[in-house]
Structure 1
Amino acid sequence: MITGYVIARKPMYDFSDVIIGRNSLLRIEDKYYHGIDRLNWIDVESRFKQSAIPENLLNVYTDLEASEQDLTGIKVLKKYDEAVVLMSLDEEMTLKNEILVIASNKLNQIKGHGIATVQTITWLGYDIVLLGGWSLIRHAIFENRQMSLLKVIALNSFGLLDNEEQADDFLKQYNKLADLDSVDPLLDNSSYGVDCIRVGVL
């Protein structure tokens, strides 16, 4: 069962303001970050602010905004056709974005039951995410270049984990780096903690 659909920037259009003095694309050698934390919904939100979303789709946008009220920091749509319609608002939207499928037992418990999908999913891997915060893989490895983490985990060709079993070793090393002020510490007041979210594309 999947959790829902997310519109995110394609890796080649996902820029970071954190990386200074280097190419701001989230890339290490030939690997781009393909996780969930890729300027999600930013182009949909900008079109809403510009009043560029048709009136008949405003209820979809309202549902999208409501999906974040659980404080996970993750907005999802439960209906594939709604994600497709928003992706098709204009040519630039289609060019720069893609529809992600995400799956997480924890998110299913928070956001309501998981949903079945008839679409064929190409799974890219697992992202380690502080719910209500950020992707730890994006922040630590791709933005802050903390390569010591690559001694305890192996990133696949999509810049993600192939399995959830590597998460514990990653978190131990991440916390050591946080103690050294090399990465942002995990939030003590996070409502849900860290989750491994499976990410795929259609």
Structure 2
Amino acid sequence: MLNINILGYLVLRKPEYNFDELGRGAYLPYAPKIDTIYYGGIDRMEWFDIDEKYYNDTLPNDILKLRDKVIDASRQYNFNVCTCLDDAKKMLAFSNKDQDRNDLIAISLYNKIENTIDAEFEGELLGCDLYCDGFGSLIREGIFNKPELFREYATNLNKNGLFDINKNIIQKYTEMYEIVSVSNNLEQFDGPIKSVSVYKLF
């Protein structure tokens, strides 16, 4: 049982299902992967199966109300989090009713104590992701997008496609990404980089 302070919960596509067959918008038609390691961070398809039914006008009213609560919370947290575990579990069950393609995760930020909630749940730490609001994950956009440019850091990924908690590696990778992105046509971030701990709930 884990007892931690978190920002909240999200329903994300499982790493191996983190793709849209139609390749719409920001979603790839294949799951980001290096050899046998899938990207398993926060920048996966969040609330995707709920949003699909919302835009198709087939979302049940009870789930619609929960979706609205997530949108309201995102104005405070800068992440589309659900702050109630029971609500998050209901949304996970709905998302997976046709096929088991989604995970329930919790996230916390290093050195952030405001706007957090005390949480207790069965789960495991997947690792550390690096995230910039309005941009996404530096791990996904860098290592998984152009692994040949970041070979030394690709070897530091754990089995979940994330970094283990290591401030030295995190700082060096962030600095390298900022330099390499300019000359290699990668997305360039504009804002603070957040170190995000990603937990998977059982």
TM range (shorter): 0.7 to 0.9
CA offset at residue 67 of structure 1? 2.3
Structure 1 position 160 matched with structure 2 position 162: yes
Partner of 2:104: 99
- Percent of residue pairs identical: 23
From 175, 181, 188, give the equivalent of 1:185: 188
Aligned counterparts of 1:27 and 1:139: Cα–Cα separation in 2:
12
Q: Aligned Cα RMSD in Å? A: 2.5
Aligned counterparts of 2:171 and 2:83: Cα–Cα separation in 1:
30
Partner of 2:60: 54
CA offset at residue 87 of structure 1? 1.4
SS, match of residue 66 in structure 1: helix
Aligned counterparts of 2:44 and 2:141: Cα–Cα separation in 1:
11
Aligned counterparts of 2:112 and 2:186: Cα–Cα separation in 1:
25
Aligned counterparts of 2:100 and 2:88: Cα–Cα separation in 1:
15
Partner of 2:199: 200
SS, match of residue 67 in structure 1: helix
Question: How many residues are matched?
Answer: 190
Higher share in strand: 2
Partner of 1:80: 85
TM-score with structure 2 length normalisation?
Answer: 0.83
CA offset at residue 91 of structure 1? 4.3
Q: Runs of 5+ in structure 1 lacking a partner?
A: none
Q: Runs of 5+ in structure 2 lacking a partner?
A: none
SS, match of residue 120 in structure 2: coil
From 132, 135, 148, give the equivalent of 1:133: 135
Partner of 1:34: 40
Aligned counterparts of 2:111 and 2:135: Cα–Cα separation in 1:
15
From 171, 176, 181, give the equivalent of 2:174: 171
